[in-house]
Amino acid sequence: MRPDAPAIEWPTVLLLTATYGIWALATTYIYGASPALGTVVTGLAIAQFSSLQHEILHGHPFRSQKLNESLALPALTLTVPYGRFRNTHLAHHHDPILTDPYDDPESNYLDPAVWAQLPTWIKLLYRFNNTLFGRVVVGSLLGNVRWLLDEMRRLRRNEPGVLRDWVLHLAGLVPVILWLWWAEMPWWAYLLAAWVGHGLLKVRTYLEHRAHESARARTVVVEDRGPLALLFLNNNLHVVHHMHPNVPWYRLPGVYAANRDHYLRRNDGYVYRSYLDIFRAHLFRAKDPVPHPLMPGVPVEPLAEPARST
């Protein structure tokens, strides 16, 4: 955290408290009144909690990172240890590697040579996953399978810190399990809620980064100020976040508005007005190819042009 940051960032503390409260209500009273509504609201709380974990790993809301991380340890998302999320995401923040299938832990591209060897049915799955509808529906399942298999390989290699982070994650599952043992919501419904939460997050990550020769032009701006901007904690202003990762979520819109032209020059006009525009353009039409278009390999279709603000 910056030395001049307040000792306590109250907007983040209050939102985290509200998120825990909504999660608790959704898994009990709301689910008891309406299982469908309870599942959806729990999914929203899980997505909001993941956004708050992202805020925490960047040094918020307290000056003490140990205190911050203690708030992030309950394993509401089920499959992603906070420590592994922290380490892979901070590695992702090295802009020169953005979108690289090997070096960027959050890349959605594949090496064209790997793509060429995949069976047809897997290619079809990946192509479906490259539409926004597919990313929301199957993206979290496909992503979790790839994530867990990769984590298993890291555990077998005994990579430093991985086992520790998973042990802490299992400890963080204990209060979730105990709560659900008592709550109205059964386990199968919580799994469904987790799928909803992960799927919502895929809306944000769908086109956060594009393949581009210039690293500075790989990161998007979505000028949305609606409910999804709150759910994602203004991370839709993604180029601003990458340039100023220590700025808290509630200040990002002001930072962007104060120098909008600068950020859009920097990312070469990679901008959408809203998430509605993204849904219109890419709900059933992929924005990108699956194989990375700037790596040598099989020919791929050209990238779709982003919507541009004026």
Query: Counting Cβ atoms within 10 Å, is residue 164 exposed (0-12), middle (13-18) or buried (19+)?
Result: exposed
Which tokens in the block code for residue 58? 């960047």
pLDDT at 261: 97
pLDDT at 3: 53
With beta carbons less than 8 A apart as the criterion, state whether 110 and 264 touch.
Answer: no
- Residues 89-135 have pLDDT tens digits of 999 999 999 999 999 999 999 999 999 999 999 999 999 999 999 99
pLDDT at 1: 47
pLDDT at 297: 64
Helical (H) or strand (E) element with 272: strand 271-272
What 3-state DSSP class applies to 124? helix
Q: Where are the domains of the chain?
A: 10-282
Rg of the chain on CA atoms, in Å: 19
Q: Which ranges of the chain have pLDDT less than 70? A: 1-4, 297-310
- Supply the pTM of this predicted model: 0.92
Which residues lie closer than 8 Å to 183 by C-beta, 6 or more apart? 27, 28, 31
| Cα-based torsion angle of the residue sequence 145, 200, 131, 187 in order, rounded to the nearest 10 degrees | 40
What 3-state DSSP class applies to 8? strand
DSSP for 206-263, written as a single string: TTSB---SSGGGSB-EE---SHHHHHTTTTTSHHHHHH-TTS-GGGHHHHHHHTHHHH
With beta carbons less than 8 A apart as the criterion, state whether 146 and 101 touch.
Answer: no
Which residues lie closer than 8 Å to 24 by C-beta, 6 or more apart? 179
What 3-state DSSP class applies to 62? strand
CA 57 to chain centre: 13
